[in-house]
Amino acid sequence: MTSELVINVTREESRVALLEGGQVVELYIERKRDASLVGNIYKGRVLKILPGMQSSFVDIGLEKAAFLYVDDIMTSVDEYYTAFIDQDNERPDLGDQPIYPVRTAPIEELLQEGQDILVQVAKDPLGTKGARVTSYVTIPGRYVVLMPNMEHVGISRRIEDEELRTTLKNIAYEIKPKGCGLIMRTASEDATVDEIRRDLEFLTLLWDNIQRKKDKASAPALIYSDLDLVFRSVRDFMSQEVERLIIDSPDEFERLKEFAGLSFPRLLERIELYGSREPIFDAFGIELDISRALGRRVWLKSGGYIVIDQTEAMTVIDVNTGKFVGKESLEDTILKTNLEAVKEIAYQIRLRNLGGIIIIDFIDMEKLENREKVFNAFVDVLKRDKAKSTIYNLSELGIVQMTRKRVRESLGRVLCEQCHYCEGKGFIKSARTIAYEIFRKLKKMNLPSGSVAMIKANPSVAELLTDEERLGIEEIEHAYGIKLIIKDDYKLHQENFEITTL
């Protein structure tokens, strides 16, 4: 299936949407104020060791101390065995399956409080939890992932041709630096040996620079910051299946061309600048998909629906027949609803980036063959998902239990905040999200030069527009030659606003 990458860049945030067959399947949002830390490398200091949990807290200079588990502590290369599951490192700074050490010593013998340690962020802070870190540093490139101090070679699990896997493994052993491991990424299957070698040379120089910086820095300190979302979209998402990348910012377009020209020249012809006046996410129907992805109830074409409830510990998805009554037997109606729900659930899991424990309550089916049909369909449709997941068989009650790797916050957690109106029992869009929606609405209205418009919004949104986001208002006023007046209105719900011309 052909794919496209659509990128929307503003002063406030960058948004990347992966489209498959014209439908949004994955969405990445990075705001300038709270960009992802995953992949960043820090020189940290051990604050506290918890023998009972075989873990420790490490100060890396953030508000909350990072969490370091005993199996994420590197000691000696000789301690590792190579029961490594070949994988596609889609989040290459982490890896789905780490090389686990043969651990013989407890954490209190491996670390001391006050000790300095080089760590890499494996998971962003989630909710009340601090970032999770590891001392297994990995540095991703376009074609390979460099693993300093780890003698191992791995091949992307998405490369299925055995002959090609053998060829790539031989190349990796030939070019890898001594004392370092290497993972050949999916993109390497179409790369030349020279391209792979150049990619590795750059990563090796980068690692040398990280080591020099580490020796000079005092903990806690940021040693290396991963690429921003726009550049990562080229490095990590531009597979052979992606026909084109289209971006709406002329400045970022030029940066991307320069970046690709130096590192990935074969991708240049697939990078395009969006030139229409209509906002890019509106033109591709992405804004509608985002709004739909924030809803609790999702309707199916047949008239059935699914309900998605995200809690602190897990996500629960319930399937209902709704208005669908079918034309044959009850069992047939239930089967058709469940099969239709399978596709929508897999789609929503990817789009919303749901992670952790997921419980899916399908409608009960009496026949074993029907339960197997629904389960197999669900497993098959999840194969396109890059995130690692484990699925357990459908129970007699129609329940599927699964886990999906969680590295970053879900879409709902990024765009929404706990609702003040319902005392935390649900979610509403944050004031900042509404402010950015107002910016997009104003640009879409294309008001004539010299006009005056009044923005009425909830006080929390109005205050943000007149204070922290004032530059965004001034930028629009200057660009369109208009005057904007902001007025707070306590009667308006936080998610609602009004824009009127005077």
pLDDT, one tens digit per residue, over 30-64 is 888 777 888 999 999 999 999 988 999 999 998 89
CATH 3.30.750.80 is the classification of domain 41-227: no
Where along the chain do its domains lie?
3-34+230-287, 41-227, 296-404, 434-501
Lowest mean pLDDT among 219-228, 231-240, 370-379: 231-240
Q: Which DSSP string do the residues of 92-148 spell out, in sequence order?
A: TTT-SS---B---S-HHHH--TT-EEEEEEEE--BTTB--EEES---EE-SSEEEEE
Q: Is the pLDDT of residue 408 over 90?
A: no
Residue 95's pLDDT band (cuts 50, 70, 90): very low
Q: What is the mean pLDDT of residues 196-222?
A: 91
Q: What is the mean pLDDT of residues 105-112?
A: 88
The pTM of this model reads 0.76
Of 242 and 424, the structure prediction assigns the larger pLDDT to: 242
Q: Is the pLDDT of residue 77 over 50?
A: no
Residue 379's pLDDT band (cuts 50, 70, 90): very high
Lowest mean pLDDT among 17-31, 239-253, 412-426, 457-471: 412-426
CATH number of 3-34+230-287: 3.30.420.60
Q: Is the pLDDT of residue 383 over 70?
A: yes
Of 127 and 176, the structure prediction assigns the larger pLDDT to: 176
| Alpha carbons 245 and 222: distance in angstroms, whole number | 31
Beta bridge partners of 66: 58
Of 452 and 191, the structure prediction assigns the larger pLDDT to: 452
Could you say which DSSP state residue 85 is in?
P
| Alpha carbons 6 and 281: distance in angstroms, whole number | 8
Q: Which pLDDT value is given to residue 82?
A: 33
The per-residue pLDDT of the chain, averaged, comes to 86
Q: How many residues belong to the chain?
A: 502
Q: Which pLDDT value is given to residue 279?
A: 94
Residue with the two structure tokens 């009340």: 128
Q: Which pLDDT value is given to residue 208?
A: 92
CATH number of 434-501: 3.40.1260.20
Lowest mean pLDDT among 73-87, 130-144, 407-421: 73-87
What is the separation of C-alpha 231 from the centre of its chain, rounded to a whole number of angstroms?
A: 14
State pLDDT tens for residues 125-152. 877 788 999 999 999 988 899 999 887 8
Q: Which pLDDT value is given to residue 93?
A: 33
326 φ/ψ sector (left φ>0, alpha ψ -120 to 50, else beta): left
Q: Which pLDDT value is given to residue 423?
A: 65
